[in-house]
Protein backbone atom coordinates (compact mmCIF):
# COMPACT_ATOMS: atom_id res chain seq x y z
CA UNK A 1 0.00 0.00 0.00
CA UNK A 2 1.21 3.47 -0.80
CA UNK A 3 1.24 6.08 1.95
CA UNK A 4 -0.11 8.65 -0.50
CA UNK A 5 -3.08 6.43 -1.33
CA UNK A 6 -3.97 6.15 2.37
CA UNK A 7 -2.71 9.29 4.14
CA UNK A 8 -2.00 8.91 7.84
CA UNK A 9 -2.63 12.05 9.80
CA UNK A 10 -2.03 12.98 13.42
CA UNK A 11 -4.31 11.23 15.91
CA UNK A 12 -4.95 12.29 19.50
CA UNK A 13 -4.84 8.94 21.31
CA UNK A 14 -5.57 10.44 24.74
CA UNK A 15 -5.77 13.97 26.12
CA UNK A 16 -2.32 15.45 25.59
CA UNK A 17 -0.96 12.40 23.71
CA UNK A 18 -0.66 12.61 19.93
CA UNK A 19 0.46 9.88 17.52
CA UNK A 20 2.33 11.41 14.57
CA UNK A 21 3.01 8.73 11.92
CA UNK A 22 6.41 8.79 10.21
CA UNK A 23 7.68 11.58 12.50
CA UNK A 24 10.94 9.75 13.19
CA UNK A 25 12.96 7.98 10.51
CA UNK A 26 13.44 4.23 11.11
CA UNK A 27 17.11 4.78 12.01
CA UNK A 28 16.18 7.35 14.67
CA UNK A 29 13.46 5.04 16.02
CA UNK A 30 16.10 2.30 16.42
CA UNK A 31 18.44 4.72 18.25
CA UNK A 32 15.64 5.69 20.62
CA UNK A 33 14.74 2.05 21.25
CA UNK A 34 18.37 1.15 21.93
CA UNK A 35 18.65 4.06 24.39
CA UNK A 36 15.50 2.97 26.24
CA UNK A 37 16.81 -0.58 26.50
CA UNK A 38 20.07 0.80 27.89
CA UNK A 39 18.21 2.78 30.57
CA UNK A 40 16.30 -0.36 31.56
CA UNK A 41 19.46 -2.41 32.23
CA UNK A 42 20.67 -3.01 35.79
CA UNK A 43 21.67 -1.71 38.23
CA UNK A 44 18.78 0.75 37.93
CA UNK A 45 16.62 -1.43 35.71
CA UNK A 46 12.87 -1.45 35.55
CA UNK A 47 10.73 -1.75 38.63
CA UNK A 48 9.24 -5.19 39.37
CA UNK A 49 5.76 -5.07 40.84
CA UNK A 50 4.96 -7.54 43.61
CA UNK A 51 1.43 -8.76 44.20
CA UNK A 52 -0.07 -8.99 47.71
CA UNK A 53 0.63 -12.74 47.63
CA UNK A 54 4.34 -12.13 46.99
CA UNK A 55 4.43 -13.02 43.29
CA UNK A 56 5.81 -10.75 40.61
CA UNK A 57 3.87 -9.26 37.75
CA UNK A 58 5.34 -9.52 34.25
Instruction: Give per-residue pLDDT as tens, 2-57.
Output: 556 887 899 999 999 999 998 999 999 999 999 999 999 988 788 888 899 988 88
CA–CA separation, 35 and 29 (whole Å)? 10
22 domain-assigned: yes
Running DSSP on this structure, what letter comes out for residue 1?
-
Give the angle subtended at the CA of 23 by the CAs of 18 and 28, to the nearest 5°.
125
Given this model, what pLDDT does residue 15 score? 95
- Is 1 part of a structural domain of the chain? no
pLDDT the model gives residue 2: 57
For residue 34, what are the domain limits?
A: 11-40
Query: What's the whole-model pTM score?
Result: 0.54
Query: Regarding beta strands 11-14 and 17-19, do their DSSP bridges make them parallel or antiparallel, or are they unpaired?
Result: antiparallel
Radius of gyration of the chain (CA): 18
Let me know if residue 3 belongs to a domain. no
- Number of structural domains, the chain? 1
Amino acid sequence: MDAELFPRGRTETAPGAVHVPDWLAPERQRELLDACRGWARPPAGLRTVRTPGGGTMT
